Amino acid sequence: MSRPPSSQTTPQFYRVSERDLTEIELHSVDSINDLHRTHAEHSHKGIRPPRPAYTPSPNGNPHMCEMIAVNQSSHPVSSKWQSRLQDMLTPSSSRAYAMGCAIITLLLLTVFLIFYFLVQQGGAIQILTEAVREKEAAATELSILIQELQTLRHNLTAMRGGT
């Protein structure tokens, strides 16, 4: 018997309840724990004691505290941070575009700040140059005044001596 071509091309999806997912997860954890118990020589040095088997409540669902323990043991905190870090470092077109824009913006901001400080330094150099010129002019004028005073003193001494 052959199937119609339409059933071969369309995938079929089945709805899985939360209860079924929880039971699958619990059985997976139990299987992993059993593997660790039976193959202790292959496990890591820091061996944890096996998790006690769960007992379902009268309605067939596991107790809430046990569900939390299973969720915490199946998703360690370090792997959560590692996956987030890996997601941040994985290049995607929108993330790469955003990172490129951020880098270019930072570079342009840096160049702008460098030119801003160079212009400020240029203004400060102009002010200092003017102050040095004024000081040189004042020093020149002071030296001329000193020469005139020496000449007057010399003349005054000559007049006193001649009288």
**Through-space distance between the first and last CA atoms of the chain, rounded to whole angstroms:** 151
Its pTM stands at: 0.32
Domain boundaries, the chain: 14-41+49-73, 93-163
Task: Round the CA-based radius of gyration of the chain to a whole number and report it.
Answer: 44
Q: Say which DSSP state 58 is in.
A: T
In the chain, % of residues over pLDDT 70: 64
- pLDDT category of residue 70 using cuts at 50, 70 and 90: very low
- Residue 95 has phi, psi (to 5 degrees) of -70, -40
Q: How many CB atoms are closer than 10 A to CB 66?
A: 19
Query: What confidence tens digit (pLDDT) does each residue in 16-44 have?
Result: 777 877 778 777 877 787 777 777 665 55
Mean pLDDT of the chain: 76
